[in-house]
Structure formats: structure tokens, C-alpha cells
Chain A
Amino acid sequence: MSNELLEIVLLSLRVSGVALLISSLTGIPVGAFLGLRRFTGRRLLVALMYTGMGFPPVVIGLFVYLLLSNSNPLSRLDLPFLPALFTPEAMILAQSIIAFPLVAGFSMAAVMAVDPQVRLQVRSLGATERQTVLAILSEARLGVLVSVIAGFGGIISEVGAVMLVGGNIAGRTRVLTTAIVLETRKGNFEMALALGFVLLGLAFIANLVMLRLQGRSIEE
């Protein structure tokens, strides 16, 4: 049993970890771009992103499901970037999409909270456009970390989308949340509670690690 539990925990961490990496690598630059640049269409993009932040994850799961389903002609082409349904990769795809607007939105807010004068100062010291963005992200690092934590919290605890696209297959796509649903359905409340505490613990540890990293970066 403990072996099975370990497997579930490791898979949850792998799926959400990779998804978080993908959404951070895309969401932080997009958030910085939206926070620092003024261009036509920006307000529409920001509105879309805020919608995405409040979008029901299970609907994203549904879209990913339909995208990957055999009934969709696209999936028959065996495109290399489209994973198969009921695989960890399908769950990573769904979770990346769920976390992306959270990371981008909170990053944008963090970047916009930095004193605009910092931008002038950094540019005045000779920073290129790219160096300016990096400096502002560095000034906003606490907020950017919060955006990553928000993304992690949004996906590690998400159940609907991973149930749909992962299928909750034992030993293959069963993660903490879907296992909790299953054990509760079985009336196996002790196991469900144990899994629940592991999930709570993981979220707590993740936050502690982030806070430690943040403390270190200030002391540098």
C-alpha cells in the first residue's frame, strides 16, 4: 500500500512539476510583456487572461479531452506535440493550460507594482530592453514567486481535468486528487484522509521551499 501511495505522490509531483515549469517559462514572460508594454489590443489580452484565471479547470480538461480524443481528426495525425489520452503527458498538457493564466496574471500584477521610475533608472544605467525586463522581474521576484505558488496550488489540487484526460488509471495516471475521489467513493475514508493530508503537506512544503528561496535571493 505504501508503495502504491509513493507512486501516486511521485506522479502527482512529476505531472504538476513539469506543467508548472512549462507554464512558468511561458507565463512569466507573457505577464512581464503585458505589464510593461502598452499596445493596442493589450486590454483585450488582459481581459482574456483574467477570464483564464477564473476559468473552470474542468472545462479546460474537456477541451483538452476533445483535442486528444480519437473522434478528433487532429489526433489521428499523430502530431508529435499532441500526447495520447489517458497518459501523464495529457495531464501535463491540461495542467499547463490551467496554470498559465494564473502565472501570467499574477506576474503581470507583480511587474506593474514595481515603481515605474525603476524602469527609467535601469535604462539610464545602460540596460537594453531585455535587461530592463529582467531587472524589473528581479525587483518583482516576490510577486513572481507568488504567481508560481498560485499556479502550483491551482494544479496540484485540481481534480476534474486530470480525471477527464488522465482517466485515473491505477499505476499510470492516478494522482492524489483522483485517488481521493476514488477512495471516498469506495467509502474508504481513512485512505482518502491520508491522501488528503499528503496533499496538504505537499502544498505546505512547496510554499516553505519557495519562501526559503525568496529569503535567500534577498540576502544575495
Chain B
Amino acid sequence: MNTPVYRIRQLLKAYNGRRVLQIEHLDIQRGEAFAIVGPSGAGKSTLLRLLNFLELPTAGKIYFEATEFSATQEVPVEIRRRVTTVFQRPMLLNRSVWANVHYGLGLRGQHNATERTLAALEKVGLDSLKHQPARTLSGGEAQRVALARAMVLEPDVLLLDEPTANLDPYNISLIEKTVQGLNHEHNTSLVFVTHNIFQARRLAQRVALLLDGQIIEVASVEDFFENPRDPRTAAFVNGETVY
């Protein structure tokens, strides 16, 4: 269990000279469910984009297993394809439900993986809608399609950026159960961003508090909520405004 899938070292991300993220040292383990909490604007989404290799770091390095990712070193597409993100907005393509879920497989040349596509749709309970145009779905259905589209790729790491914000309790619970199933049954590493501390508590094994681009505290879920070391963590957990 103690094999890091990510090792973050002296990472810095700045936009136009403005620092948005600075992490000296952080490891994320293979197969763990890791939550990142913090107020909006803290740099949570930026961190996820870096973990998915969608943007280059300004300085420092992220190691994905043995592969280095830095300002001057992009990762090869085969490595990039072992990680994928479900964003807060489902961002479905203007195609059918089935074509959306099959899309990533098509990118990998697996054009005949019909059964896997169907299985993924069944897992989110939407196989009956496979021929529908994606734009006709409700918000909850669309996010479940987005999750199926990510799951079908069987990634080593699944990144989730506020995946259940603005959804109703039924869809939240369905998505949480599906994601948990992936973590437990397929040993998929989960890194998810949420502003909902209850969700972090339900899903995560470890939690990090990110404030103004910096990690304040990383702890097991029990310690984070019951025994925080930093007063700002305690304040955040208690629902107070923190800076």
C-alpha cells in the first residue's frame, strides 16, 4: 500500500507572475482515496490539472511513478492515458450518450470495445439512454455519463473536481457509490476536490487542506476531523471562514 503513485517536489505554479500553487512535498499513494478541501480560489483545481498533466508546472517536479513531469518535461501520451478527470461540469461532446462513453476508447484505437462501453453505462444506470443525444440529458444524468466515460478507460488514477456540486441527493449517492466501488474493487487511486467536508469524510482515507495555494495540513481522515494539528484546519472543519 505504501507505493506512491504521485510524488510532488518543490512544485510551483504561477500565472503571469502570480503564485497560485506552491507545494514543497506531497506523496499520494497507489490505491488511496485522497481528498483536497479548501475554500474557493485556494488552487485545488489547478492542482488537479497538474496531476492530469494538462498544464505544465512553473517550477519543481511531479513524479508519476518513475516518470518526471516538469516545466521542460512533458509526459508521454501512454502515461497521460493512465489518468483522467471528471470535472464539475460534465463537458459532454455533442454526440450520443454511447459515443461519449466510447470516445476515450476510440482515442486509444479500441473501436470495438462495445461491451466495455455498455458495461460502464450499466454501472451508472444509463444503458437505456445510450442512443440519446447527450445534450438532452439532465444535469445528474450528464454527470453520470461523464463518470462512465472516465471509468470505461480503467484509469490507474481518477481525478474528480467537485463532481457532485449542484446535484440532487440521489445522484450524489449514486456517483459516490460508483467511485467507491472503483477504489475498492479495482484499486483505482482517487484524488478528489470538494468543498463539502462531509463528502471528504465519507470517501477519503486521507485529507489535505489547501489554503491560498499552500498545503496547511495532510492527515488521515480521522485525525483531520477529530484531531487537527493546525487551528485553521479546526476552523475549516467547523465551517468557519479561514484565510
Contacts and interface: CB of A to CB of B under 8 A. Distances in A.
Contacts of A138: 93-95
Interface stretch (A124-132, A165-173, A180-188): A124-132
Contacts of A117: 87, 89, 91
A125 B133 contact: no
B211 to A, nearest CB: 24
B52 interface: yes
Given A117-B89, A118-B91, A138-B93, A125 B54 contact: no
A139 B54 contact: no
Nearest to A135: B93
A126 B49 contact: no
Contacts of A126: 77, 80-81, 84, 104, 107-108, 153
A115 B54 CA distance: 16
A218 interface: yes
Interface residues of A, number: 19
B194 interface: no
Contacts of B80: 126
A120 interface: yes
A139 B134 CA distance: 12
Interface in B42-85: 49, 52, 54, 77, 80-81, 83-85
A134 to B, nearest CB: 10
Given A138-B93, A220-B95, A125 B107 contact: yes
Interface of B: 49, 52, 54, 77, 80-81, 83-85, 87, 89, 91, 93-96, 99, 103-104, 107-108, 133, 149-150, 153, 159
